[in-house]
Amino acid sequence: MNEIIISIKPNFVDKILCGEKTVELRTRRANIQPGTKMWIYSTLPRGEICAFASVEYVYTDTPESIWAQYSEEIAITEKEFWEYVGDRDAVSVIKMSQVDSVKSGVTLKKIKDKIGSFNPPQFFMRLTNNSPIRSLLQYAV
């Protein structure tokens, strides 16, 4: 199974967990396969992997098209959208399904204590089968 860790700001993680936000907006193309398990790292001040979801699909298009199709699912205002995407020609949305929180948040401190060096991804990071963090996460659900 493909797995990734993606960093998301805490206020957006809350919106994902309550179902208000069902797509994650990215300003770069996201080459993620449908069915990928997406571990959600809530950035500081939380600093923990606190949720996971399944990637239903990734869609890339012009900002205008993305806003027209997904404005209700992105959970930001139009002003915030345009400030975020700037003058980019294309942006991506990651459609999430089967969202759930982990039993016990896997904090940045816990990750570093168990596996040593770890820096949360700026965009996302793929987990390999033998990744120490992957084995740590299997006990979080």
- CATH number for 60: 2.30.130.30
Q: Are 121 and 5 in contact (CB under 8 A)?
A: yes
Cβ atoms of residues 46 and 87 within 8 Å: no
How many structural domains is the chain composed of? 1
Provide the whole-model pTM.
Answer: 0.92
What whole-number distance in Å separates Cα of residue 56 and Cα of residue 140? Answer: 22
Token representation of residue 102? 């982990």
pLDDT, position 53:
98
Report angle CA 91, 133, 106 to the nearest 5 degrees.
Answer: 85
pLDDT in tens, 87-101: 999 999 999 999 999
| Domain ranges, residue 116 | 3-137
